[in-house]
Structures are given as C-alpha cells and as structure tokens.
Amino acid sequence: MTRLILVLGDQLSAGLSALAEADPNTDCVVMAEVAAEAEYVPHHPKKIALVLAAMRKFAEQLRRAGWRVAYSRLDDPDTGGSVDDELLRRAGETGATEVLVTTPGEWRLIGQLRELPLKVRLLPDTRFIASRRDFEDWAKGRSQLRMEWFYRDMRRKTGLLMEGNQPAGGSWNYDAENRKRPPSGHQFPAPMQFAPDSVTAEVLDLVAARFDASFGTLRPFWFATDRVQALQALDHFITEALPLFGDYQDAMLTGERFLYHSVLSVYLNLGLLEPLEVCRAAEQAWRQGHAPLNAVEGFIRQIIGWREFVRGIYFLEGAGYTASNALGHQRDLPTFYWGGETRMTCIREAVSQTRDEAYAHHIQRLMITGNFALLAGVDPQQVHEWYLAVYADAFEWVEAPNTIGMSQFADGGIVASKPYVSSGAYINRMSDHCKTCAYDVKAKTGDRACPFNLLYWSFLDRHRDRFASNPRMGNMYRTWERMDPDQRRTILSDADTLLARLDGGDIV
C-alpha cells in the first residue's frame, strides 16, 4: 500500500525521519509549493526564492536516489492552495490513506495536519541534538529555564569543547571577550556567495512576477540552494571568518552587513546542514590552532545552546505561546520597519540591510529593531510576524522564542531573566551609527535627544511594579531615582511627545 511522505520546505535533509521510515519502492514523496505557505505572513522575496529553489533541487536529489516524488509548483494551475489540499490531491491519485511526516516546526501546520481526513503519523525530528522529550525532562521541576545551564548539559552530551568532564580552557562561556569594536579601516570577509544556476534563475523569475509588491529586494540573490553549496559556505566561514568571529560578533558598522558572521543559520534551518557537523568543523579549527577558543565557543553556543534551547521552549510552551503579551503592549509597528523614512541611523541601517539581504545579525535584531519595539510598547504579535516575514532563516520554532521571549519579554520571563532594553549608549558603544545620526546620543531631553534615551527611561518608569525588584535591574532604577525630579518629568514628557508623533505617522 502506498503511503504519502510529506517533505516540507525546511526539511531538506537526506536523513529526515519521515524518509528513514519510508520505502522508496512503494511510497510517494509529496513536496508542494503552495500559496498558503508563501503568504501566511508577507515573506521576504529572497526567503521565498531560497525555499522554492532549495525544494526543487532536493526533489531532484530524491528522484536520483530512487524515490517517486510528486512535486507541485506554485505556478502550476493544478496546484492547490495549501499543503492540505496537495496531500488530499495526491491521496486521490495514489489511493494512499496514510501520511508520514517529520513533525513540522510550527504549531500552525501541526494543527492543520491533524485535521486531515487521512491517517497522519507525526514522526520526531531527529535533526536536533535534544529531542522534545529530552528538553521536557531537562525542564521538569526547574523554577527557571535558563539557556546557560541547558548549554552546559549539551556540551557534556556532545563532548564539544570538553576536556574530560571540564570545559576546554576552564570556562564554559567566553562572552566577555566577544564585545570588541573593529579598528578603523578593518577589512571583513563576505559570506560565500553563489551565482544563481538555471533552477534558481527560474524561481527568481517566478517570485519576481508573483511577489513584486512584497517588502524586500529579490536581486542580487546569492544564497546557497543545495547541500553541496551549503557545505562550501561552511568551509569558507571556518577558513575565512571564524578566527575573528568572536571578537567582533556584537559589533555594528555602517555599510558592513556581515562582519565575521557565518549566515549559516539559513542553511541549518532549511536542513541543508546538520548542527553537529557545523559545530565539529568549528571545534576542529580550534584544536588545529586555526581559531581561538573565544570565537569557537561563542559560535558553538549559538547552535547547541541557543538554537536547541529556543526550540525546546517553543514546543514546551505550546500553540498559544505566540499570543503572549505579558507587558500589555498594544502600539502598532511603526512604518519604518517596512522601509518608511526614519531619522535614526541605527534603525535605517538595520531595516535597509534586512530589506536587501533578508538577514541581520543577532545584535541588530535584539538591540536595534527589537529594543526599539520593546521600549515603544509595540504589540509583540506584530513584532513576531515582522521577524517571521523578513528574515531568510526565520521559521516559527526558532523565531518565536527569540522574539516573544528574548526580544520582547512578552512571555513574562520564560526565556529571559530581564528585558533586553538599552539606551542609546549601548548602540553608541557597539556601533558607529550615532556619528551620522540626526539625533544626539548624549542628549537626554529635547528635540535632538536620541529616541532610545527617552524611551528607555519611559519604559522603566511605566513598568516599575514589575521590574524594580529584579536583581539584574536594580542599578537602572537607582540611577533613575537619583535624577532630579524635574529632569525625570521632562524625560517622561518628551517620551510621550515622541510616542505621540510616532502614532501620528510623523517621521521619527
């Protein structure tokens, strides 16, 4: 009896559990480019093109390996509007009554599959180091779920950067060494870029015609779209960028969009690369003396620590997690997130880079766009949908905890022990943006005061009842209390004026 083997656009791995469970002699792989997946949020054109090109290439790889693949293209008039539609269509063609699928990384899709009038077997996604059950067992009985403790257990489990039972170098975490600003005139290696082949070029034409009104620049397009290219991108990063990745990973420079960042999250989250192979390549570079420990540890922590941790949180918290709004924020997302005009250089740089590359690194996301949204009291659901839409590596299992939890503190502290907010001083310390900004990063009041300065104190004041007793925020509140009362009133008044201008559609 034929079974349908559903392979989704972020499951492009030869070792996928659904494929491992299937029989290529009798079963039929179903892959579908459908409007519902391209449009449930307004995805960046580059992201859509990346997924479709990689899907087409993976389907051909499966065919060459002997699989029967029923592939539906977005521009085929017979293609249904959703994954559900395509499964029902293929079931009618083949007589199949059962679907095997590696559990999707979005509760939305899991719910849809469970409603199908077919037998659906959801198989564990074995591409992660910690299974969902592993994470549940780790979390059980803990009063707080903190990534650092989880990360240490993942180091012990994998043996990465371990010397017996102890961490290499005597410390688990070298983050304190990873906050440097590059010297003036420093030259950075770009991520490896790939000219579109015939498959990708065809997809680019399709996306250009169908999604021409979407936020984001489609061309030039340079992402890897198959495993061979992704492995080349990994080798390039290890050789050219990893040695200085640690030192400058938190820096932000005008016109420098990648610094030493790998951009490998794009390929990891599609399934073109495996987390352990990436981490072991980085570890080998350290053991061979090619890259220092602070760089390699910081890179590996992002993968076996943070990436695995947020996936665990997403499934542990359930389908309602993305609706969390612990701080009660309701403001609409400002238009400058979609390319509208702004006088803030840091926001303009982060958004224009996002528009052009479908990529921004973690500090740009957390401490520029995320920080402003949190300080301004923007509805976290709108922030969540923006991040999910605009970044090529954004799939809900990884994006939602980073946004709802880490960035917006909308989950009330499940992910983070305090909100990640800062004034303009942090941005000035970690970037060169303030030098060319219309605002004065040192001004605390007045028309030229950096909006981050005004909104920072306004945020702390209006959420005093929640955060004043937080031990990690005591110094912030003590500084606020030491200010002259008239200065505090002026700051809050200027912040209210700024927010009113924002709500009114004025250029901020």
At 431-454, the pLDDT tens digits run: 999 999 999 999 999 999 999 999
Pick the CATH number of 132-308 from 1.10.10.10, 1.25.40.80, 2.130.10.10, 3.30.450.40: 1.25.40.80
* Residue 155 confidence class, pLDDT cut points 50, 70, 90: very high
Kind and range of the H or E element at 68?
strand 68-72
Instruction: Give this prediction's pTM.
Output: 0.96
Q: Given this model, what pLDDT does residue 379 score? A: 98
Q: Mean pLDDT across the stretch 391-412?
A: 98
Q: Given this model, what pLDDT does residue 47 score? A: 98
180: left (phi over 0), alpha (psi -120 to 50) or beta: beta
* Residue 208 confidence class, pLDDT cut points 50, 70, 90: very high
Q: Given this model, what pLDDT does residue 184 score? A: 78
Amino acid at 223: F
- Each as own residue / partner, the long-range contacts of residues 259-262 (CB below 8 Å, 24 or more positions apart, any chain) are 259/182, 259/188, 259/361, 260/188, 260/189, 261/191, 261/361, 262/191, 262/233, 262/234, 262/237, 262/299
CATH superfamily of the 4-123 domain: HUPs (3.40.50.620)
Domain layout of the chain by residue ranges: 4-123, 132-308, 335-503
Backbone phi, then psi, for 450, in 5-degree steps? -55, 125
* CATH of region 335-503: 1.10.579.10
Would you say residue 12 has pLDDT above 90? yes
Name the average pLDDT for the chain. Answer: 97
Q: Given this model, what pLDDT does residue 471 score? A: 93
Residue entry with tokens 């009114």: 504
Distance from C-alpha of 32 to C-alpha of 10, rounded to nearest angstrom: 12
Beta strands in 73-194, from DSSP E residues, in sequence order: 98-102, 119-123, 162-163, 166-167
Backbone phi, then psi, for 42, in 5-degree steps? -75, 80
Distance from C-alpha of 270 to C-alpha of 360, rounded to nearest angstrom: 17
Would you say residue 455 has pLDDT above 90? yes
Would you say residue 292 has pLDDT above 90? yes
Give yes or no for a contact between 418 and 473, defined as CB atoms under 8 angstroms apart: yes
Strand partners, 99: 4, 120
Give tens-digit pLDDT for 64-93.
Answer: 999 999 999 999 999 999 999 999 999 999
* Residue 185 confidence class, pLDDT cut points 50, 70, 90: confident
Instruction: Give the β-pairing of 166-167 and 162-163.
Output: antiparallel
Give tens-digit pLDDT for 18-64.
Answer: 999 999 999 999 999 999 999 999 999 999 999 999 999 999 999 99
Give tens-digit pLDDT for 210-263.
Answer: 999 999 999 999 999 999 999 999 999 999 999 999 889 899 999 999 999 999
Give yes or no for a contact between 194 and 222, defined as CB atoms under 8 angstroms apart: yes
Distances (CA, A) of 372 to 171, 268, 318, 345, 451: 33, 28, 27, 13, 9
Q: Mean pLDDT across the stretch 193-199?
A: 98
* Residue 174 confidence class, pLDDT cut points 50, 70, 90: very high
Distance from C-alpha of 93 to C-alpha of 497, rounded to nearest angstrom: 62
User: CB within 8 A of 24, min separation 6: which ones?
Assistant: 65, 66, 67, 68
Distance from C-alpha of 206 to C-alpha of 215, rounded to nearest angstrom: 16
Distance of alpha carbon 407 from its chain centroid, rounded? 11
Would you say residue 360 has pLDDT above 90? yes
- For residue 393, which of 271, 301, 506 has the smallest C-alpha distance? 271
Kind and range of the H or E element at 28?
strand 28-32
* Residue 419 confidence class, pLDDT cut points 50, 70, 90: very high
Q: Extract the tokens encoding 414.
A: 């499940």
